[in-house]
Amino acid sequence: MERQSDTDARQVDVVVVGAGQAGLSAAYHLRRTGFEPGRDFVVLDHAPRPGGAWQFRWPSLTYAKVHGMHSLPGMELTGADPARPSSQVVGEYFSAYEEAFDLRVRRPVDVRKVREAGDGRLLVESSDGVWTTRSLINATGTWDRPFWPRYPGQETFRGRQLHTAQYPGPDAFAGKRVVVVGGGASGTQHLLEIAPHAAETTWVTRRPPVFREGPFDEERGRAAVALVEERVRQGLTPLSVVSVTGLAVNDTIRAARADGTLDRLPMFDRVTPTGVAWDDGRDIAADVILWATGFRPALDHLAPLRLRGAGGGIRMEGTRTALDPRVHLVGYGPSASTIGASRAGRAAVHDIRRRLARDPAPVPAPTAAETPVTAVA
């Protein structure tokens, strides 16, 4: 049972925001180390069902097309039918997981603001009321913040523009001339799916894509993670995973490179009412522009804590924010993968247990004098 304070805020030791891979891993480790759900911690998620962001991914993203889904701690995901949509496979797996470990995720609960409670605790304001907490594990992923770059003339386009977050599957593009923007895994997957249906596809990317032959072994994985880790340690914005790892080549990609589906053009300079155009005089007519331009961390609700520094990112020490030791970001930066998110959940709980044991009294908020970088957000 949650304890009620004078202000009607329920008091817990840890609030976990988000029940995707990262949030569930954290909840599992809290539970395993003696934290009681409801009494000591709560998990809040604004999605309607279990599954994290996976529940929103397009039906043609079958489990076979997923690049290595790492299991959650304590329960393997085995025997999934590779032909089924990953949204269903992962949704069912997460649902069974929440039940097996009695994690009692509250949904749909939208966390709107996290701010100082004034007594060293944090105040978590949500669509389901207020909690005060000694620690916050933020596991809100990126799906809720699709990134749309701006190009001149974009608003004049008479066709359809959509983002990966709204991608409905390839049938919607039958007979259309489609421009796909973005050199990541989503962009290439969209192209491979759409090309057989569309009248024409064009691929544009800011930088030439880097195709990576050979297995993505542990050493390469570690090197990629270390690179992103170093960036967030310095308070820079995290890089996308593909910008670090490159695009893995398999037989399908090899064939698409050979037949021209993955011939890439540099980024256009503007959008016109009927397509896209380059300053050198080239233009391409299009019915649809599909922006596969990625996502940004969904952290708006943390803005009152002013965690962002001059580098535009949040300076991190492991999973903990450098400016506020009460706040952990899991599934962020170097841990933005299913394997990273699982590990980060454990690391955050380990750190919180140490801190709560060491500081039985509430930890005061950092003062301006202790703030090593300029807070801009």
Ligand X SMILES: Cc1cc2nc3c(=O)[nH]c(=O)nc-3n(C[C@H](O)[C@H](O)[C@H](O)COP(=O)(O)OP(=O)(O)OC[C@H]3O[C@@H](n4cnc5c(N)ncnc54)[C@H](O)[C@@H]3O)c2cc1C
List Cβ neighbours of 106 (8 Å cut-off, separation of 6 or more): 42, 43, 44, 45, 128
Which of 35, 143 has the CB closer to ligand X?
A: 143
Least distance CB 21 / ligand X (angstroms): 4
Which of 21, 201 has the CB closer to ligand X?
A: 21
- Cα separation of 292 and 247, whole Å? 14
Least distance CB 110 / ligand X (angstroms): 5
Which of 177, 308 has the CB closer to ligand X?
A: 308
Beta sheet of 200-205, edge-to-edge order: 160-163, 288-291, 177-181, 200-205, 264-266
Least distance CB 143 / ligand X (angstroms): 4
Is the Cβ–Cβ distance between 137 and 14 less than 8 Å? yes
DSSP states of 189-212 as a string? Answer: HHHHHHTTTSSEEEEEESS---EE
Least distance CB 108 / ligand X (angstroms): 8
Which of 272, 337 has the CB closer to ligand X?
A: 337
Query: By the criterion CB under 6 A, which residues form the site for ligand X?
Result: 17-23, 44-47, 52-53, 57, 66-70, 110-111, 139-141, 143-144, 186, 295, 298, 301, 331, 336-338, 341
Is the Cβ–Cβ distance between 341 and 52 less than 8 Å? no
- Cα separation of 54 and 88, whole Å? 8
Which of 53, 316 has the CB closer to ligand X?
A: 53
- Cα separation of 70 and 22, whole Å? 11
Least distance CB 295 / ligand X (angstroms): 6
Least distance CB 158 / ligand X (angstroms): 28
Q: Strand, helix or coil at 230? A: helix
Least distance CB 46 / ligand X (angstroms): 4
Which of 309, 331 has the CB closer to ligand X?
A: 331
φ and ψ at 204, to 5 degrees? -125, 140
Least distance CB 152 / ligand X (angstroms): 27
Which of 272, 319 has the CB closer to ligand X?
A: 319
- Cα separation of 277 and 8, whole Å? 58
Q: Are strands 41-44 and 111-116 parallel, antiparallel or unpaired?
A: unpaired
DSSP states of 296-331 as a string? Answer: ----GGGGGG--B-TTBSB-EETTEESS-TTEEE-S
Which of 46, 134 has the CB closer to ligand X?
A: 46
**Cβ-count burial of 369 within 10 angstroms (0-12 exposed, 13-18 middle, 19+ buried)?**
exposed
Q: How far is CA 76 from the centre of its chain?
A: 22
Other C-beta atoms within 10 Å of 122: how many? 24
List Cβ neighbours of 329 (8 Å cut-off, separation of 6 or more): 138, 297, 299, 314, 316, 319, 321
Least distance CB 126 / ligand X (angstroms): 7
Which of 243, 274 has the CB closer to ligand X?
A: 243
